[in-house]
Each structure stands twice: as structure tokens, then as C-alpha cells.
């Protein structure tokens, strides 16, 4: 990274985060912690659990050795705790029809299937064919064949999914492509390529994805928008732009998680936030929950 691009990156986020930027930047440069979320189809009991008072399966505090089981499946999936929150925000019911619009690599998709205890009425989409292949590989590693066979996997640009012959959905998860500053700061090549236009262009794409998702959402349905970005342009400002459109009739559903803080239109987890049982370092993750009126 040359000095000019470094200064540009710092100036861009300093302007948004002011005095909080130095601490936030430092936390983003550290390795993201992970928890091992148990696979309900591979394991029933374990001696080392963490009870989080949240409606999903127990987590292991440390990575354990994989083992054989009845279905020859992996016993756990490693993921950032903050990445679990968008799935919980969907408030899934057994008979809900669901679209995961940008589904790869598949950690959230696995949680969705576990929450419903079924693969029925679930559509998983990604715009990149290599990512769709990776998604299917993850599903195959963690799901019994009976569940895997129920799922519809799509390869399409989410902005144009509404043009396909799809029914409308009760719930939609839009975990949108974003700046992913944690990855950028930890990757010299990515940081060299970074420019202020990156976030602006991504925000434009995210807005287009939101509009497309809205067309596929049933009245009274729920759309969960999430990113792993810290750019306000891609988070609250994108939601604000979407909500100010005349044809959009929506209600923001407020959340209150044990980790993170409220924003104007949603909730944000930053690595600087601390959770009593799990400590800090999680995220970043932004979540906005919208109900279609």
C-alpha cells in the first residue's frame, strides 16, 4: 500500500467515525474470533457448551476434531458470532417461504435450515458460479441428503431475480456484498486497490438489490438487510435512501441484541463492542429489519 492510498482510506473512515476511528481500525486489524456452531444433524450432546440465551444451538468455545457420525457430516461450523444475528432477525417460522439472496459461502444458510428444521420452501441464490459451487459444497458437508434434496439453489444476479418465475416470499435475507473493511485491512493487495469510490459503488448496488428484494417480498413479510461493512454509506444511508422512495411502504423493526448498539435504522456490531460471555472482537455486522406494509 502506498502512502497516498493509506491516507485516503484513513481519511474516508476518520470522517465517518471521528474520534472512534483509531480504536476501531486497530480492532479491525486483529484476527476475527470464531465460535463453533453445532450441527444438529451430526451431534446431540457435548460437554463444552456456552449458553447464550438465544434461540439457536449451543456453541463450542474452541475448535474440536471432526468425527464420523451416522450421516458422515461435519459436526460444527466455524463462524463469527455476529454473523448469526441476521438469521435470528428473520424470526423464522416452520412454514415460511424464504429467499437467501446472496447466500454463499453458506454459514447463514445452514442456520436458516436449522431454524426451520427443513429445507422446504428455501431458495438459496448467489450471482457468482464459483460461489454457488462453494455453497453447495458446504451444504453437502453439513446436511443429510433428505434435507439437501429439498433446497432450491439458484445462480442469478440478485438485482434481476424478480424477473424469474418465482413466487413471493415471507422472509428474505439480503446479506449484501460490501466493502468488508476487516478483510481489506488485513490484505495488502486489497488495500492497495481500495479507493473511496469502492463504498459508493457498492452502496449503489446494495440499493438495487434492496429494490429487487422488495418486489419479491409478500405484504407483511420481513426483509433483513445486512453487511459486514462499517461504511455508513452502505448501512444506514442505503436504508434511508430506500425508505424515502415514494412507493416503499415499510416499517423498521427494532432489535435489541446482547452485543452491539442501535443505529438510526438498524443495529451494528463492532469489534470494539464487548459481550459479557464472549468478550470483544466480533463483527463488524450491520443489520436492518424491514416489514412490508
More confident residue, 187 or 7: 187
Number of domains the chain contains = 1
Query: Cβ(154)–Cβ(161) under 8 Å?
Result: yes
* For residue 116, pLDDT beyond 80: yes
Is residue 228 annotated as a catalytic residue, yes or no? yes
* For residue 82, pLDDT beyond 60: yes
CATH number, domain with residue 190:
3.40.50.150
Q: Rounded to two decimals, what is the model's pTM?
A: 0.93
Q: What is the pLDDT of residue 52?
A: 67
pLDDT in tens, 27-55: 999 998 988 888 888 866 555 556 666 65
Q: What is the pLDDT of residue 75?
A: 81
Q: Name the residue range of residue 76's domain.
A: 3-292
Least confident of 12-21, 64-73, 259-268, 270-279: 64-73
Q: Rounded mean pLDDT of the chain?
A: 90
pLDDT in tens, 135-148: 999 999 999 999 99
More confident residue, 76 or 240: 240
Q: Of these residues, 84, 102, 178, 228, which one is catalytic?
A: 228
* For residue 165, pLDDT beyond 80: no
Q: What is the pLDDT of residue 1?
A: 47
Query: Cβ(11)–Cβ(85) under 8 Å?
Result: no
Amino acid at each position: 500500500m502506498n502512502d497516498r492510498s493509506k491516507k485516503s482510506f484513513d481519511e474516508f473512515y476518520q470522517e465517518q467515525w471521528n474520534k472512534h476511528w483509531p480504536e476501531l481500525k486497530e480492532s479491525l486489524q486483529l484476527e476475527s474470533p470464531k465460535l463453533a456452531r453445532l450441527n444438529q444433524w451430526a451431534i446431540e450432546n457435548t460437554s463444552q457448551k456456552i449458553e447464550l440465551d438465544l434461540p439457536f444451538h449451543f456453541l463450542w468455545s474452541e475448535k474440536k476434531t471432526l468425527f464420523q457420525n451416522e450421516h458422515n457430516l461435519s459436526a460444527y461450523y466455524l463462524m463469527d458470532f455476529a454473523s448469526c444475528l441476521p438469521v435470528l432477525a428473520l424470526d423464522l417460522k416452520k412454514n415460511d417461504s424464504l429467499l437467501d439472496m446472496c447466500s454463499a459461502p453458506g454459514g447463514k444458510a445452514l442456520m436458516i435450515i436449522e431454524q426451520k428444521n427443513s429445507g422446504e420452501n428455501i431458495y438459496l441464490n448467489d450471482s457468482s458460479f464459483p460461489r454457488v459451487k462453494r455453497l453447495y459444497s458446504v451444504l453437502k458437508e453439513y446436511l443429510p441428503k433428505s434435507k439437501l434434496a429439498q433446497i432450491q439453489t439458484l445462480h442469478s444476479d440478485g438485482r434481476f431475480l424478480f424477473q424469474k418465475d418465482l413466487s413471493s416470499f415471507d422472509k428474505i435475507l439480503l446479506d449484501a456484498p460490501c466493502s468488508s473493511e476487516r478483510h481489506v485491512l488485513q490484505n495488502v493487495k486489497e488495500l492497495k486497490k481500495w479507493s473511496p469510490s469502492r463504498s459508493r459503488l457498492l452502496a449503489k448496488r446494495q440499493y438495487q438489490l434492496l429494490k429487487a428484494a422488495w418486489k419479491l417480498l409478500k405484504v407483511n413479510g420481513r426483509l433483513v438487510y445486512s453487511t459486514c461493512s462499517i461504511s455508513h454509506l452502505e448501512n444506514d444511508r442505503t436504508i434511508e435512501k430506500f425508505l424515502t422512495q415514494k412507493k416503499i411502504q415499510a416499517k423498521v423493526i427494532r432489535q435489541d441484541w446482547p452485543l452491539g448498539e442501535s443505529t438510526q435504522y438498524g443495529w451494528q456490531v463492532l469489534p470494539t463492542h464487548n459481550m459479557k460471555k464472549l468478550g470483544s472482537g466480533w463483527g463488524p455486522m450491520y443489520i436492518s429489519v424491514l416489514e412490508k406494509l
